[in-house]
Structure 1
Amino acid sequence: MESRDQSNRQLGRASCYSNAAKRQSYSPSVIVIGGGFAGIAAARALHDASFQVVLLESRDRIGGRVYTDYSFGFPVDMGASWLHGVCKENPLAPIIGRLGLPLYRTSGDNSVLYDHDLESYALFDTDGKQVPQDLVTNVGLAFENILSETDKVRQEHKEDMSILRALDIVFERRPDLRLEGLSYKVLQWYLCRMEGWFAADADTISLRCWDQEELLPGGHGLMVRGYRPVINTLSKGLDICLNHRVTKIDRRHSGVEVTVEDGRTFVADAAVIAVPLGVLKAKSIKFEPKLPDWKEDAIADLGVGIENKIAFHFEKVFWPNVEFLGVVASSSYECSYFLNLHKATGHPVLVYMPAGQLARDIEKMSDEAAASFAFMQLKKILPDASEPIQYLVSHWGTDVNSLGSYSYDLVGKPHNLYERLRVPVDNLFFAGEATSVDYPGSVHGAYSTGLMAAEDCRMRVLERYGEMDLFNPALGEEDSVPLLISRM
């Protein structure tokens, strides 16, 4: 392989991509780094705009933090699994609709817990006693009221603080809002679910920014057949090199040179960098010259949360016919919840979803120990639970290809960091959920930033070529097909 290194420096490397030889040598060229939704979207758009594109992906698969596992004999999303915003305004809706992929809606608009409605839960205390549904609903409404009180705290304080600190201030001022006994434990469970939304602990989430994210209308829908068909469709015909971990990006006036782990190099006019924020934070990719300070500060100051999944496949269903099972306890750390996939997909699967510090602690365990811990939580509420026949465990925090699940606002840091992370540096263009100003932490946010980076890149490169009208980009509207939505 070494003897061919020099001849492999140009983009047209036969071992990676098939169409290069057919293309004219003067076609503008781009290297896309990262094969998640943002990278695939950017590569798709640039490829369709007649650019030479090669995509370098460090894993042995595409999709990034979107990963549909089929080892149970049917699809289970071990990464992202919801479409946040089941509506035609969602940029992914045309593709999902065209593919005829069904969605299972788990909430309407403005649910206090974002992705589920209040009536979709069965909560239990650690003795296995079910919490009365009217109590669950009443505490949910109280939680909404308490959160609205934190807005007054925000307006009165110039300095930012954590959501947890703001809650403490609200309870100091308004003793009437304090809850006791079982109600207090249910409140802790609601806080635990909030932490799950941000994949972070409440003592690190910014009061100033926690509610700044835009939510598309239409509620939230689970991808019944998983996200894999979408990523497969978007990647069709692209030139993708798997197991190509990028270690260095050298940007020059004439283009970029990208080095991968085994020393081979790729050159192109520009690069789209669509690697996870956790990977950028780890500085496992060396930039020459180094990125400007404002860009490095944005990388350092954005938070990366962790939420994992432990999926259990059972012989048969033995749990209540609700969307979520929850364990209430005296702290949010001790609370837990299980997503019931049977309701959406018909398969006897429960998914345990730890976030924040709990997820970090579980990641230190072996898969067997992690599954055993999660099953123990289930046994607390359903003592007669049968042993699973299979299980799967994700490791988004320790996986060197992700080093976290998704971005969120840290205490004391400005909300415009997402925008700063997105802004190009010379001929480097940035994409990914952490560069989405309006929709961070979401698949459609990642997808949108890939399209934006592609368009920015296309304009910049063709300006340099002086041939703005040479190519007709294929970034137009897709034909709209209605989404297939089911509900309880």
Structure 2
Amino acid sequence: MEAKNRNNRQLRQGLCSSRTERRSGTSPSVIVIGAGFAGITAARALLDASIQVTVLESRDRIGGRVCTDYTFGFPVDLGASWLHGVCDENPLAPLIGRLGLPLYRTSGDNSVLYDHDLESYALYDTEGNQVPQELVTKVGLAFEEALQESEKVRKEFSEDISIKRAFSIVFERRSDLRLEGLAHKVLQWYLCRMEGWFSADAETISLKNWDQEVLLPGGHGLMVRGYLPVINTLARGLDIRLNHRVTTVSRHHHGVKVTVEDGSTFVADAAVIAVPLGVLKAKIIQFEPKLPDWKEAAISDLGVGIENKIVLHFEKVFWPNVEFLGVVAEDTHRCSYFLNLHKATGHPVLVYMPAGKLARDIEKMPDDAAANCAFTQLKTILPDASMPINYLVSHWGSDVNSFGAYSYDKVGKSHDSYEKLRVPVDNLFFAGEATSINFPGSVHGAYSTGLQAADDCRMRVLERYGELDLLLPSMVEDGICVPLLISRM
């Protein structure tokens, strides 16, 4: 059966080649703008469908907001690092499984709130005193109950409000949920972790839409060897032009012309726009004619948040064997947390992960000052902490190639904006985590929209050339199921 299918594909490709030759050497072509996960995925699928593809990337590397760094001699992800939803239903799972890449499961719960198991937290106050685990668990339950109560607030209000305001209303009504002292500080830490999930401050996160993301089962798995092996596999054999910053995209009924910063131009039948939402908001790329008002509105209505990583590499481990170290405080801006990579990878590394306003404030600092800020927080809870031997600092908010970490639902805006951003405009097709209505802000969301954009683009291009074969299967096919390699210490 496999041989027969392979022969059928070869026959179809042969027919395409013969028709191509009859058109005096012309063949279907697509330009993909952006070599992040969505763009590389789209280009891979189009090339596999025998369509000529050129990928234009403004950076000097591929991956976009997937950035695996090897400065320390081992992989550390400065951008995306989790597979959210360790299950066969995750569209990325088959690829990761086939590559044999191990995952470290940080939580078996698929919740937005608990991407790490409660028993693997070690929280401290600003005096360096560890918070009793019983209190951490108790406050966690209270936080969940407050979110449940906020559902009642959501139903009562016709207009959208922020998560922060909803919590204020809940605490006014439920005196038993109003916490004081150390318990209040722990509650702020949970809210800080929620802000980290959305890379935004609680006063900007939509009460109406915060839970509209489809959460896949299986919990959360950290990519032990980083995401780079996945992106490199997808990119193999592609024509990728690095340091090619696109400035203009002109579309016509017969094709597209793309101009890059040095004035060079590229022409093709269609284009896949796979740049980050922050880049679209900054209008670095000019569209001619301009995008429709509904598309511009979708770009404007979606939020793009900031979460950064300050990676501290130490000579040896001096911290407890937990997944998260946290500092609790009076408000979320003064709370913080460190991911313990040693537990997952065996390397003596802690990752400080500020989000929202805190991330914006730290981004204004030089790298050495940012690293010192993170280390000062660590010294607050572990006074005997040794100095790091090296550090890395990300700058997703100020990076002109991203202008943010990932998308989220802003107060008063429709969740449908994700779908509107995805919908094609003539022969322009859009992909990326901010075009995924089900999986926004995730790598598997970027991956799935890359496949979908490629499939839509293929249909459009081949239709123009009269080569559309309705018997051909969609490029969005089920892969061979290989079990994921999951560890848990």
Superposition TM-score tier, normalisation by shorter sequence: over 0.9
The CA distance in 1 between the partners of 2:475 and 2:296, in whole Å, is 33
Q: Deviation per CA, 1:63-117: give whole Å up to 9, x if none.
A: 0000000000000000000000001111111111111100000011244624112
Contact 1:27-1:50 at 8 Å conserved across structures: no
Checking the alignment, whether the CA contact within 8 Å between 1:106 and 1:117 is kept in structure 2 is yes
Q: Tell me the equivalent position of 1:44.
A: 44
Structure-2 separation of matches of 1:307 and 1:73: 24
How many correspondences in the alignment?
A: 467
**C-alpha distance in structure 1 between counterparts of 2:24 and 2:368, whole Å:** 53
Show the 5 A alignment for 1:143-162.
143-162=143-162
Where does residue 479 of structure 2 map in the other structure?
A: 478
Asked if 1 retains the 8 angstrom alpha-carbon contact of 2:362 and 2:370, the reply is yes
Separation in structure 2 between the aligned mates of residue 202 and residue 392 of structure 1, nearest angstrom: 27
Q: How does 1:38-437 map to 2 (within 5 A)?
A: 38-111=38-111, 113-437=113-437
Indicate the percent of aligned positions where both proteins have the same amino acid. Answer: 80
Report the CA distance between 1:120 and its aligned residue.
1.3
Q: Is the 1:111–1:118 Cα contact (8 Å) retained in structure 2?
A: no
Deviation at 1:478, TM superposition (A): 1.7
Equivalent-residue separation in structure 2 for 1:172 and 1:382 (angstroms):
36
- Give the distance between the partners of 2:113 and 2:320, measured in 1 at CA: 20
Q: Measured at CA, do residues 24 and 308 of structure 1 come closer, stay the same or move farther in structure 2, by a change above 3 Å?
A: farther
Deviation at 1:309, TM superposition (A): 0.1
- CA contact 1:48–1:473 (8 Å) conserved in 2: no
Distance of 1:142 and 1:102 partners within structure 2: 34
Q: Specify every segment of 5 or more residues in structure 2 that has no aligned partner in the other structure, as ranges.
A: 1-22
- Secondary structure (helix, strand or coil) at the match of 2:259 reads strand
Q: Is the 8 A contact 1:49 1:472 kept in 2?
A: no
* Structure 2 residue identity aligned to 1:132: P
Secondary structure of the residue aligned to 1:203 is helix
Paired AA for residue 486 in structure 2: I
Offset of residue 487 of structure 1 = 1.0
Cα deviation, residue 26, structure 1:
2.3
Q: Which residue does 1:449 correspond to in 2?
A: 449
1:306–1:404 CA contact under 8 A, matched in 2: yes
Equivalent pair of 1:196/1:356 in contact (CA under 8 Å) = yes
The amino acid across from 1:235 in the alignment is A
Match of 2:249, as an amino acid? I
TM-score of the two chains, using structure 1 as the length reference: 0.94
Aligned to 1:10: none
Distance 2:401 2:277 in 1: 10
SS in 1 for 2:203: coil
- Letter paired with 2:158: K
CA 1:24–1:181 in structure 2 vs 1: closer, same or farther (change >3 Å)?
A: farther
How far 1:462 sits from its partner (Å)?
Answer: 1.2
CA deviations over 1:355-384 (Å, ceiling 9, x no partner)? 000000000000010000010000000000
1:473 Cα offset (Å)? 6.3
2:333 and 2:24 map into 1 onto residues whose CA distance is 58
Normalising by structure 2, what TM-score?
A: 0.94
Q: For the residues of structure 2 that align with 1:472 and 1:418, how far apart are their CA atoms?
A: 26
**1:477 shift after superposition:** 2.3
Q: Distance in 2 between matches of 1:251 and 1:146?
A: 50
Partner-residue secondary structure (3-state), 2:256: strand
Say yes or no: does 1:458 pair with 2:455: no
Question: Shift of the alpha carbon at 1:472?
Answer: 6.9
C-alpha distance in structure 2 between counterparts of 1:474 and 1:408, whole Å: 28
1:139-182 Cα offsets, whole Å, 9 max, x none, are 00110000100000000000100000000000111111100100
Counterparts of 2:475 and 2:281, CA distance in 1: 33
SS at 2:388 equivalent = coil
The runs of at least 4 aligned residues of structure 1 exceeding 6 Å deviation read 470-473
Say if 2:87 and 2:217, in contact at 8 Å, map to a contact too: yes
